[in-house]
Structure 1
Amino acid sequence: MTSAKEVVHQFLLQVRSGLHPDRADRYMADRVRAHQVVSEAPVVMERTPQQYAEHVQEMLDAYGAFTLSVDELLADGDRVYARWIQVGQHIGAIDQYPPTGTQITAVTSAVYRVVDGLIVEYWIQIDRQGITTQLERAAAEH
């Protein structure tokens, strides 16, 4: 059986990277608990692999064919911690910001729980303030 660490690594490289969002069902259970760790308004939702693929497509629509580089990947039993940097171009509307073509960098980390070779739950943190600062700067320059 594939290790939890390898499942998450391949998920990030194949699906989350935007290369093959349609492969989400290879790495995710039918229903995944997604904890959006946002200090001002934490949210827990269920996502299907199809919904996750649609979420990745939304990122592609906003950032174009972005790059994703995994900086850290640590495993402890069924939990895998990942930290990555995503770099794309602001080609689609993001929140109230119209496209500027500016490069946008997002620093993200997540902990994934893997059971029987599939992701069943995750807790994700995105540097939202850093993204907002970049969007504000780009809007002021255009």
Structure 2
Amino acid sequence: MSDLLKNKAVLERYYEECLNKGNLDVIYEGAGDGHISHGTAPNGKEGVEHLKEWVRLQRASFPDLQVTVDDWILEGDKVVSRFTARGTHTGEPYEGVPPLGREFAVSGIVIDAFDDGLIVESWFSLDGLELAKQLGALG
């Protein structure tokens, strides 16, 4: 199996086990200790613990969160995933928005850079305005 396919497999496991099922310890299998995350916190946050906490917060707000990858692009040391995230806001408040039991479905893109089989840097982008509308944050 090529390195690109191995990197994709790391992400497939992360999406299924961590994001969709809530097994947060899977993060330690795929991300390096010095992982840098852009888009989940201002100016990029470092460390696998930040990534774990970010996923925990998503699942705490949306306990039924399901992320489906719609497209994969593999190039060099990077894997791009275009995804759709779906869930119901029945858990904790999200970004100050109280849980109203509203369902959402929004799209996004993540670019993950790998080094020696581990994710070392990620660029995350999601349609936050659409998410806010669907959660009822804009009235």
Q: Same fold (TM over 0.5)?
A: yes
2:67 partner SS:
strand
Name the TM-score, length of structure 2 as normaliser. Answer: 0.85
Q: Distance in 2 between matches of 1:11 and 1:97?
A: 27
* 2:55 equivalent to 1:52: no
Taking only the aligned residue pairs, the percentage that are identical comes to 23
- Closer, same or farther: CA 57–83 of 1 in aligned 2, 3 Å: same
Which of the residues 36, 51, 54 maps onto 1:33? 36
Letter in 1 for 2:39: Q
Residue matched to 2:119: 119
User: Could you list the runs of 5+ residues in structure 1 that have no partner in the other structure?
Assistant: none
Letter in 2 for 1:14: E
* 2:64 equivalent to 1:65: yes
Deviation at 1:8, TM superposition (A): 2.1
Query: Is the Cα contact below 8 Å between 2:73 and 2:79 reproduced in 1?
Result: yes
* 2:131 equivalent to 1:131: yes
Query: Is the Cα contact below 8 Å between 2:40 and 2:54 reproduced in 1?
Result: no
Letter in 2 for 1:82: S
User: Could you list the runs of 5+ residues in structure 2 that have no partner in the other structure?
Assistant: none
Q: Residue by residue, what CA displacement relative to the aligned partner does 1:41-90 show, whole Å, maximum 9, x if unpaired?
A: x6222132x33222211111111121111101110121000011111111
Residue matched to 1:86: 85
Deviation at 1:37, TM superposition (A): 8.2
2:125 partner SS:
strand
Aligned length, in residue pairs: 135
Letter in 1 for 2:65: F
1:43 partner SS:
coil
Query: Is the Cα contact below 8 Å between 2:83 and 2:108 reproduced in 1?
Result: yes
2:38 partner SS:
strand
Q: Which runs of 4+ in 1 moved over 4 A?
A: none
Q: Distance in 1 between matches of 2:127 and 2:27?
A: 24
